[in-house]
Amino acid sequence: MKPFVKWAGGKVRLLKEIERHLPVDFDEWENVTYVEPFVGGGSVLFHMIDKYKNITRAIINDINPVLIEAYRTIKRDPSSIIKILMELRSEYLGLQIGAPRELFFYRVRDTYNAMRFEDDHKVAFFIFLNHTCFNGLYRENRLGKFNVPHGRYKNPIIFEENNIFALHTALQNVEINCGDFSDIFSSLGNAPTFMYLDPPYRPVSKDVTMFTLYDGNGFSDLDQIRLKEICDVFSNKGCKIMISNSDSYDDNISFFERLYNNGYQIDRVKVTRMINPYNSKNRKPQEVIITNYPSPNSI
Ligand SMILES: C[S@@+](CC[C@H](N)C(=O)[O-])C[C@H]1O[C@@H](n2cnc3c(N)ncnc32)[C@H](O)[C@@H]1O
């Protein structure tokens, strides 16, 4: 199973490290609830529910409503979006590379932006645009219109029918929410729970030492602190928690070491990123993996 969208911060390349940082006895847990409040393209979700059959309940969330509508549509019945995607794909790939494809892309983008949220076709258009736009980014202007330019891939794989049907089956035990990450926590029960939290990246470094209120990606340092406080609450309830982010320093002080300084373990791993909006000349991007249990690596 593969994600049905490319997503900024997607974790396909980090899966091995995530695996290595799971609780040592994770295989032996029974009736596990898996929680992912920043699900994005779902690379970790699909890997986990495919591999660990002891996960009997999964709860996912993201703040992006079109993305979440796509998950819900694929869970409910993907056949109508597959039909539309087939039409879009054959028309697009039948065009010459260059201006004809570009023109088609912008027509699809205009149509997508004019569609109502409830429109059945919107999810199919979203998936098409995701695979044909620049770097698979999702960005909207101030009017809420998708504005990423054409991507110019020679032979983009826009969707794979079998994969979408496999995702449909896999999503049957998954509860899907749309909203702020904090909303998801009210639906947790008493079962053994593992949470994987992958919030938007904090920039590699900031010029100021003070916590900043707002970030270009809409996720501020206050949100990072809010998230940490929720982790503390669920940590005290016995949940096992893993958080990943981009390593980040203010005046050579690690932001995440300063924040997660009460019994969490922080490991650094190297990554190559497909989409790295915060590339810095000074520091090679590194991922931090934070756990509220001893990492099997260091035992
Ligand atoms: C780094 S990405 C997650 C990528 C994901 N792990 C994957 O493999 O594709 C972070 C996600 O958090 C979502 N997000 C941003 N702010 C949020 C918030 N306040 N609550 C919930 N989700 C949020 C974004 O829409 C984005 O999909």
If DSSP states are collapsed to H, E and C, what string results for the chain?
CCCCCCCCCCCHHHHHHHHHCCCCCHHHCCCEEEEECCCCCCHHHHHHHHHCCCEEEEEEEECCHHHHHHHHHHHHCCHHHHHHHHHHHHHHHCCCCCHHHHHHHHHHHHHHHHCCCCCCHHHHHHHHHHHHEHHHCCCECCCCCECCCECCCCCCCCCCHHHHHHHHHHHHHEEEEECCHHHHHHHCCCCCEEEEECCCCCCCEECCCCCCCCCCCCCCHHHHHHHHHHHHHHHHCCCEEEEEEECCEECCEEHHHHHCCCCCEEEEEECCCCCCCCCCCCCCCEEEEEECCCCHHHC
For residue range 83-127, list pLDDT tens digits in order: 999 999 999 999 999 999 999 999 999 999 999 988 879 999 999
Are residues 285 and 184 part of one domain?
Answer: yes
Q: Are residues 220 and 186 in the same domain?
A: yes
Give me the pLDDT at residue 104, please: 98
CA–CA–CA angle 256, 175, 71 (5° rounding): 85
- Residue 273 pLDDT: 60
Tokens of 214: 């707002």
Q: What is the rounded average pLDDT of the residues 265-281?
A: 68
The pLDDT assigned to 119 comes to 86
For residues 46-81, b (16+ Cβ closer than 10 Å) or e, as one string?
bbbbeebeebebbbbbbbeebbbbbbebbbeebeeb
Q: What confidence score (pLDDT) does residue 66 get?
A: 95
Ligand 1: which residues within 6 Å by Cβ?
Answer: 7, 9-11, 37-38, 40-41, 43-44, 61-64, 180-181, 198-200, 219
Residue 252 is predicted with a pLDDT of 86
- Ligand 1: centre distance to CA 195 (Å): 14
What is the average per-residue pLDDT within 161-175? 97
Q: Which atom of ligand 1 is nearest to the CA of 62?
A: 22
Are 141 and 193 part of one and the same domain? no
Question: Looking at the predicted structure, is the pLDDT value of residue 270 above 90?
Answer: no
Same domain, 250 and 187: yes
Q: Is 168 inside a domain boundary?
A: no
pLDDT tops 70 at residue 217: no
In the reported structure, the alpha carbon of residue 38 is separated from the centroid of ligand 1 by a whole-number distance in angstroms of 4
Q: What is the pTM of this model?
A: 0.92
In terms of average pLDDT, the best of 133-137, 204-208, 250-254, 267-271 is 133-137
Residue in 38, 177, 178 to alter for ligand 1 test, most ligand atoms within 8 A of Cβ: 38
Asked if residue 16 has pLDDT above 80, the reply is: yes
| pLDDT value at 213 more than 50 | no
259 shares a domain with 210: yes
pLDDT of 244 above 60: yes
Whether residue 102 is found in the same domain as residue 50: no
Same domain, 183 and 294: yes
CATH number, position 91: 1.10.1020.10
Are 89 and 29 contained in the same domain?
no
Distance (angstroms) between ligand 1 centre and the Cα of 55 equals 22
Residue 212's domain spans which residues?
Answer: 12-63+179-298
Q: How does pLDDT run across 31-75, given as a tens digit for each residue?
A: 999 999 999 999 999 999 999 999 999 999 999 999 999 999 999
On the question of pLDDT at 280 being above 70, the answer is: no
**CATH number, domain at 47?**
3.40.50.150
Q: Please say whether the beta carbons of 219 and 63 come within 8 A.
A: no
Instruction: For residue 173, tell me if it sits in a domain.
Output: no
pLDDT of residue 276 exceeding 70, the answer is no
Q: Which residue has the least CA distance to atom 26 on ligand 1?
A: 40
281 and 197 co-located in one domain: yes
Residue 172 falls inside a structural domain:
no
Query: Do 50 and 135 lie in a common domain?
Result: no
Domain stop point among 135, 162, 189: 162
**Average pLDDT taken over every residue of the chain:** 90
**pLDDT (average), residues 171-196:** 93
> Do 131 and 39 reside in the same domain of the chain?
no
What mean pLDDT comes out for the span 14-28?
Answer: 96
Ligand 1 closest atom vs CA 201: 1
| 248 Cβ contact list (under 8 Å, min separation 6) | 202, 203, 204, 205, 206, 254, 255, 256
Amino acid identity at 204: V
Q: From the CA of 4, how far away is ligand 1's center (Å)?
A: 15
Q: How many domains does the chain have?
A: 2
Domain boundary among 106, 128, 162: 162
182 C-alpha to ligand 1 centroid (Å): 13
For residue 17, being part of any structural domain is answered with yes
Pair 223, 83 in one domain: no
Structure confidence at residue 209 (pLDDT) = 37
- Return the structure tokens found at 138: 């999702």
C-alpha distances (whole Å) from 143 to each of 107, 109, 113, 220 are: 18, 14, 10, 21
Q: Which atom of ligand 1 is nearest to the CA of 39?
A: 5
Q: How far is the CA of 198 from the centre of ligand 1 (A)?
A: 7
